[in-house]
Amino acid sequence: MSSAKAKMREKKMRNQPASVQYPSCSQVENGGRGEDHHVSEGGQSDALPSSKRQRTPSDRSGWVRGHQKDGGGYAREMPKYITGGAFARARAAEVNAMLKAVTKTTGSSQVFASLPRHMRRRAMSHNTKRLPRRLRDLANRMREKSLQAGPKKKKEPAKGKSRKARRRHGNLLLEFNRRQRKNIWLETHIWHAKRFHMVKKWGYCLGERPTDKCYRPCYRAMSSHCLLQDLSYYCCIELKGEEDELLAALSQLTCKEAGPTFAAAVSLSGGRQGSVTVYRAGQYPSQPLGPVSYLWRPRTPGETHRQLWIWAHPTLKQDLLPELQSVCRCSEAVAPPVEPEVSNPEADHVTVAEPKPGNKGKPGAKRKRSCKDAGEPPPKKIVGDGTRLPSTPVTWKSSSTGIVINDLTMEILRYRLIGPQSHSVLAETLEAATVCDGSMKEQEPLLWWPQHCKDQSNMDLLQQQTDVFNLLKGVCSTGELPPGTVLGLTVDDPRLTLPKRKVKAVPSVNQSQEADEEKRSELKLRGVPQACWDSLLWEQSVRDNVTDNKISEKDLNCMRSELLVPGSRLSPTPPQGRVPILLVHQPGKQVGDELNSWGAGWDLLLPKGWGMAFWIPLVYRGVRVAGLHMSLKHSQNKAAPHFPHDYPDCPAGARFQEEQEAELLDRFKRRPPAKRANYIKHGCLAPFRCPWQQLAEEWELLMREEGAEGKGDEQSAAKTDVVTEEVASQQNTAPTYRPSCFYILRNRRSLRLLSGWCRPTTSKGQRPCRGAAEAPPLTPAAVTSFCSAHRMSLVWVRLTLLSKGKPEPHAMVCAPTAEDLKLFGKKLLSSGPQEPPHKDHLKCRIKSKKKSSKEAATSLPPSDEREVSDITPASDPNPSKDPHSSSGLVLGVWPDPLPSVTSHCSRVTLGWVTQGDFSLSVGCGEALGFVSISGLLDTLLKQPVEHRGKLLLRNPSSLHYRWVKLNIDV
Amino acid sequence: MTEPRNPGMSAIPQNNPTQTETSAQAVEMDPVEYTLRKRLPRKLPKRRNDVYVNMKTDFRAQLARCQKLLEGGGHREICVHGLGLAINRAINIALQLQASSQGALQLAANTSTVELIDDLEPEDPDEAGEPMTRTRNNSAIHIKVFYPVPQ
């Protein structure tokens, strides 16, 4: 008997009468019931109930339950007589003991544990009034007891300062700075952390979604008002150099076939933001890196020196930066202190007093010192990147090309406003900078604005920009403006015009005059005039000056308190309160025919340090704030691929897929086995990931077999086709990579061709696309040539459900059979075909393994047995116990070498869905995903014309196929 | 309104950038190939009794919305707007409303011209260079459906 058991037993025995003796549990029956046994001799009537009584639940541990096999000691000890008084006393003591045992609760159990489940309420132990009245006294007593006992125990680990001390400003800052060491905080972090579920992703702390329920409000904001997001985690990389050199270097990363490149005339002038998919140098079409958006600084007249900002997702940056360095031959890292333009020294300048705790490694010592040493300046807030070592180079120079690469991560903030009213929010929040009057004394020569004001040409420019900006107030919808327009501006500190309470920004159309109307239509037609593109945000020195000289909230409030009329606007505007900004228009949905320019908006670029100063005024204009979740939904509604989710051929996308699979599998394994979906029975091979590579390979093999069957002559005939020539010319771009790795088709021409093929030519409502006449018809010859050009490629498709149903991620896209299509014509849409349930052959394997493992480890307690079968060896803490599960079997999921993914089910699989949901903008289920080109064309070719582009979709946990319409938007 | 204005082609002013060949392989491209991208029509602030008719929503649903506004919504008048292809449908809705009201409703139609903007994006941005913007005109109809004020 263990010591704990003995203790327990001792506790039990305390209340027992002396006359009743319990033996230790090994010889219970004979000794303990000695007195009973003589009774059983005396009369059966007494013996039976008493022995029953012994078995009532009141008897606890130490007793052997149930009938004993050896029959007990009935025969051994038979007293000759019983004394009435002694017997009664003994019984009375027993009854007492039992009553006591029934009424007394054991130490660990709570009062509400005695309640049935449906009567239990949340937080009962906290608030005893939630209990039924009869139990309240007891609960109160127990609560008091636990309160007495609790604090002593809990106090011990809590050490050091009181809450008050911890919340003191300096200490709080230190604590915040410590927490920023691993993951970068955005400037709006504290604001977000109070309202959002935060996740640590890509080295940042980001808001995933608000804690309140606001999925639909956020959607409504996106489609009718304005939704705000902090995209400051996007990394900006600055390239400086001669225009020719830059273009020559960057042209290796892109290809004209996939759309506009860095050299596109519109964006090269600096008037538009461009976006492009970047590839590894010279590797198009394989080995893409990911999408970036870029912005050229407008030319200064008579100079060929240009400045370019490339905005990339943080996961993309780690791939992109080395590639850029190699392309530009920028291998020489410039040590931060040497180069005055480098961002980091200036970051140090801001945080100079705060000796970056992360880099020194002794935060404890630091804190003490800063507390003791009053002379030392107080800790400063980290502005910018707190995780980077100050010695890490952020600038690279090339001696041969003269290009300078600057890593401006966290130097420039980016806020995204999505929605048709985002320009009115901006127009209401921001006010063009007021000019400094000449009477301003020269007491602050450091400030840039008074200096800047002296030059009349600058003032003219500002006036021009202000005029354009004021025009925005009269524009009704953001989608009316030319996509990608850039507007530079200098604005006043928006904190000065903060409204008293939240207001909703609306466009002011009625007050617009005729003259403005003319200008406005000019703006819509031609975009922002060229002079207004430039902003001082491009200047490193101005940015730093603005960041350093920001008025703190406290000083601002002091100045406000000295105003004569409380609540009036501070005037004149303090000279520090001018900020250069850049407004970049974001085009909305540009592909497809429906919902044009849905989700258009503006990006607001700010110098660092000013984050909260702009955030709060924006929020006060009635915008809704969303997190990462909504940005995914935004791109889903736009039918645009979202990085890194929908870029499986990019390294970042592949990494994301692995992470996602691990997470989903983990979540799956946390469910009890009986409650899990058996994906094997559903015929779903890969419920947590999409094996694109296998899919592409299998389809390639299938097509080759088909081609070998007897189309040799046809292929040769196809070669002469004009279309074929066109397509085949693209074939020679990168033949070496084709067999090795799948890639996603981004060639615009091919996509357009494919898009034309996918839509039915006769169906009503589908107007033929422009240039449909010149597009070649879908013939076997054209298909073969197309396939041979893009053998291992996938294509991004949008699938709209024709009936009900909500597609889920990783749902299968399948090709319908001829019978299905026939039925489709006859029956109502709602009923698609069913997949016959599959058999789980692996189940018995798992079971037998379970059995064998049970035999192997009989000593295991029964509760552990269940887990043994679930644990894969990868996560198995003690694999020695379970040597048989070598293949990592999880019940209901196929083990790793998957069988053929295409022909596993009754319908041939073409691809998978990466994003799927009920689309609020369309009003039905909509899915986005990839399908294999060879498979798709093969299917299309077999389908009759009126049903062309109709496919089947099946969720991983369902057997029901749903009809979908395939669209390829270009 | 009678005669559509000449579509004013206007290119964005550009000073010609120095072109560089981005890729070695020169795919022969049609130099005058553009992608047409229509921008949204100018949107005006919407009152509660404005109904904008489109071609995507079911006709019956749009009719029912109008009827609801007139009967349940307590509006004495509503405005039905249609642009381009939807003009037909707007007229149809207005007439249906009138017919179903047994003559209680009256109509007053106005027509107008709406200026629309198209973006023409060059297929090959480096060669052709200049994205174009053009305006074109489209007709619109605004039908006031109202209960006449009793004299």
What is the DSSP track for A950-962? EEEEE-TT--B-E
Domain ranges of chain B: 41-146
Residue A761 above 90 pLDDT?
no
CB A527 to CB B12 under 8 A?
yes
Question: Are residue A125 and residue A273 in the same domain, yes or no?
Answer: no
Number of alpha carbons in the 13 Å side-chain half-sphere of residue A303 = 10
Residue with tokens 């009754």: A906
Answer whether residue A92 shows pLDDT above 90.
Answer: yes
SS3 string, A458-492, reads HHHHHHHHHHHHHHHHHCCCHHHCCCCEEEEEEEE
pLDDT given at position A229: 92
One domain, residues A858 and A958: no
Say how far apart CA B111 and CA B143 lie, in whole Å.
8
Separation of alpha carbons A480 and A473, rounded Å? 13
Closest-CA residue to A523 (of A580, A465, A581): A465
Choose among A318, A297, A306, A177: nearest CA to A235. Answer: A318
How far apart, in whole angstroms, are the C-alpha atoms of residue A324 and residue A249?
Answer: 8
- CB atoms A509 and B44 under 8 Å: yes
> What is the arithmetic mean of pLDDT over A44-49?
42
pLDDT of residue A703: 81
A325 closest CA partner among A401, A262, A391, A396: A396
Residues 6+ positions from A584 with CB-CB distance below 8 Å: A273, A295, A484, A485, A486, A487, A602, A603, A605
Please work out, in degrees rounded to the nearest 5, the angle formed at the alpha carbon of residue A182 by the alpha carbons of A180 and A184: 50
Share of chain A above pLDDT 90, in %: 10
Last residue of a domain, one of A71, A103, A135: A103
Q: What is the DSSP string of A302-327?
A: T--EEEEEEEE-HHHHHHHHHHHHHH
Return the higher-pLDDT residue of A112 and A345.
Answer: A112
Q: Which residues pair with A580 in a beta bridge?
A: A490
Q: Is the same domain home to A13 and A80?
A: yes
Measure in Å the smallest separation between the Cα of A479 and chain B Cα atoms: 6
pLDDT greater than 60 at residue A378: no
Is there a single domain that holds both residue A86 and residue A123? no
Q: Same domain for A818 and A867?
A: no
Mutate to test the interface with A, among B40, B83, B133 (most CBs of A within 10 A): B40
The pLDDT of residue A515 = 64
Q: Write the pLDDT tens digit of every residue in A53-70.
A: 444 444 444 455 555 555
State the residue range of the domain holding A61.
3-103
Distance from CA of B102 to the nearest CA of A (A): 34
Q: How far is CA A325 from CA A234, A429, A652, in A?
A: 19, 39, 19
Q: State the pLDDT confidence band at A352, using cuts at 50, 70 and 90.
A: very low
* CATH number of the B41-146 domain: 3.30.110.20
Q: A243, A255, A256: which to substitute to probe chain B, counting the most B Cβ within 10 Å?
A: A256
Q: Which residues of B fall below an 8 Å CB-CB distance to A?
A: 10, 12-15, 17-23, 25, 27, 36-40, 42-45, 56, 115, 117, 119, 123-126, 129-131, 133, 135
Comparing A597-611, A750-764, A857-871, the range with the smallest average pLDDT is A857-871
* Beta strands A204-210 and A184-185, pairing class: parallel
Q: Give the pLDDT score at A477.
A: 78
Residue A366 has pLDDT above 90, yes or no: no
- Note whether A128 and A239 are same-domain residues: no
| Contact between chains at A260 and B56 (C-beta distance less than 8 A) | no
Within a domain: A316: yes
Tell me the C-alpha to C-alpha distance, in Å, between residue A768 and each of A235, A501, A638, B38, B57. Answer: 41, 52, 22, 16, 20
Is A218 in a helix, a strand, or coil?
helix
- Could you say which of A265, A526, A729 has the minimum Cβ distance to residue B10? A526
Contacts of B13 in chain A (CB under 8 A): 526, 530
The tokens describing B147, both together, are 């209960």
Cα dihedral angle (A65, A69, A73, A75), rounded to 10 degrees? 140
Residue A380 forms part of a structural domain: no
Tell me: cis bond preceding A644? Omega within 30 of 0 counts: yes
- Note whether A37 and A124 are same-domain residues: no
* Percent of chain B as helix, strand, coil, to the nearest 5: 20, 35, 50
- Same domain (yes/no): A548, A669: no
pLDDT in tens, A424-476: 888 888 888 877 665 555 555 667 777 777 777 888 888 888 888 888 877 77
Query: How many Å separate Cα A184 from the centre of its chain?
Result: 16
Using DSSP's 3-state secondary structure scheme, residue B65 falls into helix
CB contact under 8 A, A770 and B36: yes
Q: State whether A858 and A800 are in the same domain.
A: no
Residue A601 in any domain: the answer is yes
Confidence class for position A625, pLDDT limits 50, 70, 90: very high
Question: DSSP states of A146-208 as a string?
Answer: HHHHHHHHHHTT--S--HHHHTSHHHHHHHHHHHTTTSEEPTTHHHHHHHEEEEEETTEEEEE
**Model pLDDT for residues A162-175, shown as the tens digit of each residue:** 888 888 888 888 88
Q: Cβ contacts (< 8 Å) between B39 and chain A: which residues?
A: 479-480, 482, 524, 596-597
Using CA coordinates, name the residue in chain B closest to A524.
Answer: B117
Tell me: do A36 and A127 sit in the same domain: no
pLDDT tens sequence across A731-759: 443 333 345 688 888 888 788 888 878 77
For range B49-60, the mean pLDDT: 88
Residue A842, number of CB atoms within 10 A of its CB: 19
Domain shared by A914 and A944, yes or no? yes
* pLDDT exceeds cutoff 80 at A491: yes
Contact residues, chain A, for B136 at CB < 8 Å: none
Same domain, A880 and A829: no
Q: Which of A537, A483, A503, A516 is nearest to A428 (CA)?
A: A503
Q: How far is Cα A185 from Cα A199, in angstroms, rounded to an integer?
A: 11
Using the CB atoms, write b or e for A450-472: b if 16+ within 10 Å: bebbeeeeeeebbeebbebbebb
| pLDDT at residue B139, rounded to an integer | 92
CA distance A524 to chain B (A): 8
Query: What percent of chain A is modeled with pLDDT above 70?
Result: 74
The pair of structure tokens assigned to A551 is: 């008025």
